[in-house]
Amino acid sequence: MAGQPLVITIVGVPNLPNVTEVNIRSIPTTINNASVVAKLRLGTTGLIALDVQIDQGNINLNGKVYQWFQIPLPNGGTGWVRDDLINVVGDGSRFGYGVVPTATVPFFLTRGAPAAAAPVAAAAPVAAVQPVAAVQPVAAVQPVAAVQPVAAVQPVAAAQPVAAVQPVAAVQPVAAVQSVAAVQPVAAVQPMSSEVVMTPVAAAPAPAPVAAPVVQSGPPKVICMMKGGCNVRQAADKNGAVVTRLNYKDTADILDAQQGANNDYFKWLKISVQGQQGWVREDLVRLTGTFGKFGVAAEDLYPNPAQDSWWSRDFDPTGAVSGIPHGGWDHAGNVGVPMMAGPLGGYVTKDMFCQKCGTAGISAVEQAGFAIGDQRLIQDPGWNYGYGHYVIVRYDNNLLPESVKQWLNANNLANAHAFVMYAHLHEIKVKTGQTVTPGQVIGTLGNSGMSQGAHLHLELRFGTNPNAQWPEIKSGLVTPARLFLR
Ligand SMILES: [Zn+2]
């Protein structure tokens, strides 16, 4: 494969399946809204890399600066595409990647010094360049999956129909990325959608941990995990009329499931509530029983580590959906609620006490006066860069659910291990290097660090090196939905 051209395929943004095309820019960056010279549909392949350059604005995700690939365009020109939106295969030596034997997203590769210019063998066979199916006119609005506008941070009366939701115009996932330097997860406060209702946190009864089920049984049901209740709508559509509501922790039988309408990247579940039928969005509910047949989540996934909690905020690593990058899931709850390890045990790779949070588990926002997103906080190791007290637990590949292993195998991550960060804890109950037993309490839910309202911030990464330290695993971020039920 050495000497072969490095061939690029457009793959888009993971976890936003309804994004159908990506921006090709005039220069290798998105800063100052570098002009978009083309849009290429996902699946466009056979593009030969002409050059690779580091992002001109040093824009990064989780500290890893993007690289940009120069590609030929159907109109005869050239343009630049970012390295997290493509995969590459072939000889990348002259760009510092070495030979890439299987299609890989280059964002996850480390770029070294370029090799001496080896002649590229099949000098860019033009035939290989797919005539790009539907190159959208540049003016086309970047289709972003189901843009759920971020609701006001203030608690909102629960039962508001969301008819008034303004579709957010032209949210560019690509553009949204560059505005945020370090993608530090922000605290739980920012609800994802107008269905989200935040409730002030009360003090702390600490209920006993719930045993962690692995095998689901019983009829398939949803449990509403919204503190203010869940809207049940007439259709699987975020703009659909609200027909009834399900109260927090109330259950309902699942009848059906389907993808949300209007480019919603969530699925919706059809449920029956006291004789009425309607649809509820998947992120607002917890699933129990034999729900696997509905295809919303696999039944063998790990349970929510904070069983006694309520839903707060979804994974949105680039801020493409909500405008605010968020690298994990937030489950809000009372301070002191136990945080459980996975159902098959694991290994603590890091317990990180937050010096400035102290044993009181201080919130930098509520008690030290910082604003969410304050760089003085995000860059301060004393605050653990905003994460507060946290623990990272490794779940070795052999401890992972079968459905997860299948996903890993299909995504060039065969035999990878899961690294899970549990952040903003109140107390840490384990030590680095410790093996934990199934469902063991590893800490308690808290409000430490860049947090406004007690919540668990849950981040998931996969990596093949079991001894990887933070800089190495940092880039393997994926949605917690790959391993956890909500
Ligand atoms: Zn969070």
- Please write the tens of the pLDDT for every residue from 195-233: 322 233 333 444 444 434 456 789 999 999 999 999 999
Arithmetic mean of pLDDT, 35-46: 86
Q: Token match 């969410």: residue?
A: 372
Q: Which residue has the higher pLDDT, 14 or 285?
A: 285
Query: What is the spatial distance between Cα 20 and Cα 139, in angstroms, rounded to a whole number?
Result: 15
Query: What is the spatial distance between Cα 72 and Cα 78, in angstroms, rounded to a whole number?
Result: 4
The answer, yes or no, to whether residue 160 has pLDDT greater than 70, is: no
Arithmetic mean of pLDDT, 121-148: 35
- Please write the tens of the pLDDT for every residue from 29-38: 888 778 889 8
Task: Determine the distance separating the centroid of ligand 1 and the alpha carbon of 19, expressed in angstroms.
Answer: 23
Longest dimension (CA), the chain: 72
Task: Determine the distance separating the centroid of ligand 1 and the alpha carbon of 387, expressed in angstroms.
Answer: 9
Query: Which range, of 15-19, 344-348, 456-460, averages the lowest pLDDT?
Result: 15-19
- Please write the tens of the pLDDT for every residue from 77-112: 889 999 988 999 899 999 999 998 888 889 888 898
Task: Determine the distance separating the centroid of ligand 1 and the alpha carbon of 316, expressed in angstroms.
Answer: 10
Query: What is the spatial distance between Cα 23 and Cα 143, in angstroms, rounded to a whole number?
Result: 11
State the pTM of this model: 0.60
Q: Is 58 left (phi over 0), alpha (psi -120 to 50) or beta?
A: left
Q: Give the confidence band of 60 by pLDDT, cuts at 50, 70, 90.
A: confident
**Are the C-beta atoms of 95 and 70 separated by less than 8 Å?**
no
The answer, yes or no, to whether residue 269 has pLDDT greater than 90, is: yes
Q: Which residue has the higher pLDDT, 177 or 481?
A: 481
Task: Determine the distance separating the centroid of ligand 1 and the alpha carbon of 327, expressed in angstroms.
Answer: 7
Note the CATH number of domain 216-299. 2.30.30.40
The answer, yes or no, to whether residue 193 has pLDDT greater than 70, is: no
3-state secondary structure the chain: CCCCCCEEEECCCCCCCCCCEEEEECCCCCHHHCCEEEEEECCCCCEECCEEEECCCCCEECCEECEEEEEECCCCCEEEEECCCEEEEEECHHHCCCEEEEEECHHHCCCCCCCCCCCCCCCCCHHHCCCCCCCCCCCCCCCCCCCCCCCCCCCCCCCCCHHHCCCCCCCCHHHHHHCCCCCCCCCCCCCCCCCCCCCCCCCCCCCCCCCCCCCCCCCCEEEECCCCCEEEECCCCCCCCEEEEECCCCEEEEEEEEECCCCCCCEEEEEEECCEEEEEEHHHEEEECCCHHHCCCCCCCECCCCCCCEEEECCECCCCCCCCCECCEEEECCCCCEEECCCCCEEEEEEECCCCCCCCCCECCCCCCCCCCCHHHHCCHHHHHHCCEEEEEEECHHHCCHHHHHHHHHCCCCCCEEEEEEEEEEEECCCCCCEECCCCEEEEEECCECCCCCEEEEEEEEECCCCCCHHHHHHHEECHHHCECC
**CA distances (Å), origin 128, targets 6, 7, 9:** 12, 9, 11
**Are the C-beta atoms of 271 and 282 separated by less than 8 Å?**
no
Query: What is the spatial distance between Cα 121 and Cα 91, in angstroms, rounded to a whole number?
Result: 10
**Are the C-beta atoms of 458 and 329 separated by less than 8 Å?**
yes
Task: Determine the distance separating the centroid of ligand 1 and the alpha carbon of 77, expressed in angstroms.
Answer: 42
Token pair for residue 149?
């506008």
| Domain boundaries defined on the chain | 7-120, 216-299, 304-486
Query: What is the spatial distance between Cα 451 and Cα 332, in angstroms, rounded to a whole number?
Result: 11
Task: Determine the distance separating the centroid of ligand 1 and the alpha carbon of 199, expressed in angstroms.
Answer: 16
How high is the pLDDT of residue 236? 97
Task: Determine the distance separating the centroid of ligand 1 and the alpha carbon of 401, expressed in angstroms.
Answer: 24
Q: Which residue has the higher pLDDT, 167 or 388?
A: 388
Note the CATH number of domain 7-120. 2.30.30.40
Note the CATH number of domain 304-486. 2.70.70.10
Mean predicted lDDT score pLDDT of the chain: 80
Task: Determine the distance separating the centroid of ligand 1 and the alpha carbon of 332, expressed in angstroms.
Answer: 10
Of all residues in the chain, the percent with pLDDT exceeding 90 is: 56
Q: Which residue has the higher pLDDT, 147 or 437?
A: 437
How high is the pLDDT of residue 22? 86
Task: Determine the distance separating the centroid of ligand 1 and the alpha carbon of 124, expressed in angstroms.
Answer: 45
How high is the pLDDT of residue 14? 60
How high is the pLDDT of residue 199? 30
Q: Give the confidence band of 415 by pLDDT, cuts at 50, 70, 90.
A: very high
Query: What is the spatial distance between Cα 183 and Cα 318, in angstroms, rounded to a whole number?
Result: 8
Task: Determine the distance separating the centroid of ligand 1 and the alpha carbon of 326, expressed in angstroms.
Answer: 6
Token pair for residue 370?
């910082």
The answer, yes or no, to whether residue 299 has pLDDT greater than 80, is: yes
One fold for 7-120 and 304-486: no
How high is the pLDDT of residue 278? 97
Task: Determine the distance separating the centroid of ligand 1 and the alpha carbon of 468, expressed in angstroms.
Answer: 23
Q: Token match 């960060």: residue?
A: 421
Task: Determine the distance separating the centroid of ligand 1 and the alpha carbon of 423, expressed in angstroms.
Answer: 8
Query: What is the spatial distance between Cα 477 and Cα 474, in angstroms, rounded to a whole number?
Result: 6
Q: Give the confidence band of 400 by pLDDT, cuts at 50, 70, 90.
A: very high
Q: Give the confidence band of 142 by pLDDT, cuts at 50, 70, 90.
A: very low
Task: Determine the distance separating the centroid of ligand 1 and the alpha carbon of 317, expressed in angstroms.
Answer: 10
How high is the pLDDT of residue 209? 45
Query: Which range, of 37-46, 124-133, 236-245, averages the lowest pLDDT?
Result: 124-133
How high is the pLDDT of residue 469? 84
Query: Which range, of 98-112, 183-197, 223-237, 414-428, averages the lowest pLDDT?
Result: 183-197
